[in-house]
Structure 1
Amino acid sequence: MSQSLTQTRYTISEVEARTGLTQHTLRWYERIGLMPHVDRSHSGQRRFTDKDLGWLAFVGKLRATGMSVADMVRYAELVREGEHTVDERRALLEHTRREVRARLAELTDALGVLDRKIEMYAMNTNTGKAQS
């Protein structure tokens, strides 16, 4: 028996439950090309695989980075085009990594300001002084 016949298949409802993505979002991902071709049953129902779930988890990480939908779709297109696109895929991910690191630096700075202000308030609460 071939691998494609023995692998686990999931309905769109099962994928929704496993990923937290709505069925509407899953269909939209497929429509815009963010999701690779999803196999269908003889009755036309989508049948997702573990590989599809892995892809959706990766897309979730890309979303968490703040990558634009257009860039995520471009990345998906490059994956489908094959191995000759590895350099372009890497460049896209490196660009996103630089943006994430810049945002992390901004957030770390902002967190430091909050920590100092909270510490100041804690000290002032003990002495009865209030500041802005």
Structure 2
Amino acid sequence: MKEVSAGGVVYYQENDEIKVLMIEDIYHKWTLPKGKREEGETYKQTAIREILEETGIKGEVVKPLDKVYYEYYHSSFDKVEKEVHYYLVKALSNQIKVQTSEISSARWLSLEDAWEKQKTSGYENNLFVLKKALQELGFNKF
């Protein structure tokens, strides 16, 4: 089975400070908001909808970042091939409202803290996407 999702590296800028939104999933891993594409949606529309559903944050796509591919095993479908389209997304507000049915928490982190969370508590397949986004935002302390 193949599954296609989209999501984003969401950032918010206030004065000179830029923060990135990361979510803690039900497995206590820190990751990026994303979700399955619905019929008739573009990848950008999916990313914006999923970010809003999971975190309450309205955003606008700045640019595409990259795609991530991985496989996982599901009890009903056996092997699932997953493709995730990621975008750099500018938040239009910073008020988080977590969808607790899908995620444990969400937090705005400094660029440096977001990179540390990703390295220590994130999924390896998101590493290069977050790095690319952080570079776009001016961070280079890898």
- TM-score w.r.t. length of structure 1: 0.23
Higher strand share: 2
TM-score by length of 2: 0.21
Q: Which has the higher contact order (CA 8 A, sep 6+)?
A: 2
